[in-house]
């Protein structure tokens, strides 16, 4: 190979670790968990091989989304400290490799989902991928402070997909699970965006703290946590789940609202004084894991 081609790392074949990093494995873990919980909460389970394949497809679809997101946002990622070391902004990979990898993973996940489970689940998976990439990443994120509110729908699909992969039907409970994640996304992301807002401002992303200010964002976090908490206990009130889920959801949600309340009264504008925001962000991740664990426990212990 001529030495002139070797002037930067991107000209080398991509390292497999960088390809793996494109899939955002940490985000994928939450997606896989909520998809698995949606499947395990369903009234009937598919055979093990088909259930495993469905979760694998959800993981691959999420990985494809992550790769396409990083392909599209490589320039923006380069301007933010939090993302500057990713494979594309760090120059360790050609941009086209990420595009091919992302499209390949996405198409493969949808086709395999359709062949292994049912085409309704495959259609939902395709819709979630297209929504995340086209509606959220390309359209909303660079344009409006409401990006995460509407774009949150993309991350809300996995439990619905898991349920439909198991049953072939869309029913009330998975739609409520969709609503819970949809309403959880704004306070989760806004808590993060409060203490990394200088990054978003530098990259020109109109996140709420950048556009509307810190105080308004804190108010929005608290206000969104209320319907989220209400949605979390709705499955119990509608008798779609038992008391194990209901009581757990009520307690976990109450703690969420209290932590959001602490954020509301915080007056710090410097990230160093945003301990409450960091607590809420960390708790919000735990909250979703705990809520869906309670859902599955309720389904398997109580029924």
Asked whether position 118 contacts other proteins by CB under 8 A, the answer is: no
Residue 300: CB minimum distance to other proteins, A: 21
Q: Can you give 80-124 as a three-state secondary structure string?
A: CCCCCCCCCCCCCCCHHHHHHHHHHHHHHHHHHHHHHCCHHHHHH
Asked whether position 48 contacts other proteins by CB under 8 A, the answer is: yes
Burial (CB < 10 A; 0-12, 13-18, 19+), residue 148, is: buried
Residue 72: CB minimum distance to other proteins, A: 24
Asked whether position 53 contacts other proteins by CB under 8 A, the answer is: yes
| Residue given tokens 């869906």 in the structure block | 292
Q: How many residues bind other proteins (CB under 8 A)?
A: 18
Are 159 and 178 in contact, with CB atoms under 8 Å apart? yes
Residue 2: CB minimum distance to other proteins, A: 8
State the alpha helices, DSSP H only, in the chain. Answer: 16-22, 25-40, 48-72, 74-79, 95-116, 119-130, 147-167, 172-195, 197-203, 208-211, 214-237, 243-265, 275-297
Among 12, 45, 175, 302, binds other proteins (CB under 8 A): 12
Asked whether position 111 contacts other proteins by CB under 8 A, the answer is: no
Scanning 7-15, 28-36, 72-80, 120-128 for contacts with other proteins by CB under 8 A, the matching segment is: 7-15
Which is closer to other proteins, CB of 45 or CB of 302?
45
Asked whether position 1 contacts other proteins by CB under 8 A, the answer is: yes
Asked whether position 161 contacts other proteins by CB under 8 A, the answer is: no
Give the footprint of other proteins on this chain (CB under 8 A): 1, 3, 6, 12-16, 46-50, 52-53, 56, 115-116
């Amino acid at each position: 190979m001529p030495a002139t081609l070797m002037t930067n790392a991107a000209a080398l074949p991509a390292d497999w670790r960088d390809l793996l990093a494109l899939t955002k494995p940490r985000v994928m873990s939450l997606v896989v968990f909520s998809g698995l919980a949606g499947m395990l909460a369903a009234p009937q389970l598919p055979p093990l091989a088909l259930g495993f394949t469905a979760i694998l497809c959800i993981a691959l679809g999420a990985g494809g989304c992550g790769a396409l997101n990083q392909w599209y946002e490589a320039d923006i990622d380069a301007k933010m400290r939090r993302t500057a070391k990713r494979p594309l902004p760090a120059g360790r990979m050609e941009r086209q490799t990420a595009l091919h990898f992302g499209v390949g993973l996405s198409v493969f996940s949808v086709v395999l989902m359709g062949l292994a489970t049912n085409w309704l689940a495959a259609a939902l998976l395709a819709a979630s991928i297209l929504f995340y990439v086209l509606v959220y990443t390309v359209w909303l994120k660079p344009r409006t402070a409401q990006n995460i509110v509407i774009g949150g729908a993309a991350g809300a699909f996995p439990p619905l997909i898991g349920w439909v992969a198991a049953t072939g039907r869309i029913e009330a409970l998975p739609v409520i699970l969709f609503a819970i994640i949809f309403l959880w996304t704004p306070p989760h992301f806004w808590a993060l965006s409060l203490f990394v807002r200088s990054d978003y401002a530098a990259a020109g992303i109109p996140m709420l703290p950048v556009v509307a200010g810190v105080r308004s964002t804190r108010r929005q976090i608290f206000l969104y946590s209320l319907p989220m908490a209400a949605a979390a206990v709705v499955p119990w009130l509608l008798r779609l789940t038992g008391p194990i889920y209901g009581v757990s959801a009520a307690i976990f949600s109450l703690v969420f609202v209290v932590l959001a309340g602490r954020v509301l009264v915080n007056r710090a504008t410097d990230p160093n004084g945003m301990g409450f925001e960091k607590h809420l962000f960390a708790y919000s991740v735990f909250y979703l894991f705990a809520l869906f664990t309670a859902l599955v426990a309720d389904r398997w212990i109580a029924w």
